[in-house]
Amino acid sequence: MAIPGIAANAYATMARLGSPGTGLSKTIGDAAEGKTGEFGAMLRNVVNDIAAVGHKSDTQSQALAAGKANIVDVVTAVAETETAIASLVSVRDKVIQAYEEIMRMTI
């Protein structure tokens, strides 16, 4: 079953984003040194990856409608898409929550 593999990939991606020297912490350090663009590139890559997963799901669904795909493959592709979108929404919510918390801070 592919669901544990999807979850493992999502956890690995989130761990990589939060580890020192990569992801957001590296981007913040680079911004302080005048280097910018990595955070935007990271977001662009994530959105492109989710779009690719969605395209795969669409392709599998169309193949099933044409009678050329297995139902298990279609369900797996749809589940991967749902997991990717849920992860993206969760991260978006955390970013918004962090932004709101920062805006409530007094100077």
Secondary structure of the chain in HEC code, one letter for each residue: CCHHHHHHHHHHHHHHHHCCCCHHHHHHHHHHCCCCCHHHHHHHHHHHHHHHHHHHHHHHHHHHHCCCCCHHHHHHHHHHHHHHHHHHHHHHHHHHHHHHHHHHCCC
**pTM for the whole structure:** 0.59
Q: How confident is the model at residue 107 (pLDDT cuts 50, 70, 90)?
A: confident
In tens, the pLDDT along 28-75 reads 445 445 555 687 888 888 889 999 999 999 999 999 999 998 999 999
